[in-house]
Amino acid sequence: MTRKSNRPILLQLSVEILHRILDYLDTDTILLSVFLVCTQLQMTVKSYDRYIVDVAHIPKKNFVRTCKMIRPKNITKLIIFKGNTELFLIRKFLSLVNIRRFTRLQAKIDKLKLILKHVPSLINFTVFKYYHACEDCINGAQWKHLIQKHLSLLEKFHFIFVFGQYCKNDKASVLRSLVITYPSRFWIENKRWFVTGDHYAEMYLFILYSTSLSNVVNQHRFSMKKISHSTSIQRRWQINP
């Protein structure tokens, strides 16, 4: 006869099954409840790498503690802004975490490359990426390389990249460093694709987009104070009161 284990049934499950159970729990419950049960579950929580973090759903009473416990490398989806997300929560979150450390989110650009190399005849291409745009996603040199290698027939390229970044340094310098990867002969002379960058200080928000989509970007944020930088000859610097 086999001896019955005195351990709770939950702790007899494999790590893989425990991770599947965690898939159905929110981040706050995992970090502040499951993590505190026992040493074994602490190890399980630390190795779990499929977190989906929605800032609006983190309870305010646990907000700071939860944000400090988040391990960026284990986050697969990050939702910073939705219509019901309060502005102060966005500011607080971006002051507590470093968005650029969310390296798991950067895998999306690699998947995009795999797709695009199979559609070399693509003529029009539009990309919208919100709140987890990685450095490769917003880098003009990366897009230039990808387009020249896989999309030689591309005529129109429109994009909007929206991402939050808590920035203590000169906002204008940071904005310029983002836009400066686009003003090259490829973008301006060959393709005539101009790029604009906006920074909304109230929300620690950066938006990098095709200048042709200015109306789309500005229609919802016209009343907010911002600084802008563009590769267009007609408009370099602009500060809206």
Question: How high is the pLDDT of residue 240?
Answer: 45
In which domain, by residue range, is 197 found?
105-240
Q: Measured between alpha carbons, how far is 33 from 65 in angstroms, rounded to an integer?
A: 12
Domain-terminating residue out of 78, 97, 116? 97
Q: Is residue 2 in a domain?
A: no
Tell whether 86 and 146 lie within a shared domain. Answer: no
Question: How high is the pLDDT of residue 110?
Answer: 66
Per-residue pLDDT of 97-140, as tens digits, reads 776 666 665 457 666 776 677 778 888 888 877 655 566 678 88
Tell whether 40 and 73 lie within a shared domain. Answer: yes
Question: How high is the pLDDT of residue 25?
Answer: 92
Identify whether the C-beta of residue 57 lies closer than 8 Å to the C-beta of residue 30.
Answer: no
Identify whether the C-beta of residue 139 lies closer than 8 Å to the C-beta of residue 170.
Answer: no
Identify whether the C-beta of residue 15 lies closer than 8 Å to the C-beta of residue 44.
Answer: yes
Task: Collect the ranges in the chain with pLDDT lower than 50.
Answer: 1, 106, 222, 234-241
Tell whether 185 and 156 lie within a shared domain. Answer: yes
Total domain count for the chain?
2
Question: How high is the pLDDT of residue 127?
Answer: 81
Tell whether 130 and 77 lie within a shared domain. Answer: no
Tell whether 91 and 146 lie within a shared domain. Answer: no
Q: What are the backbone angles phi and psi of residue 128, rounded to the nearest 5°?
A: -120, 125
Q: Is residue 1 in a domain?
A: no
Domain-terminating residue out of 97, 114, 140? 97
Question: How high is the pLDDT of residue 20?
Answer: 94
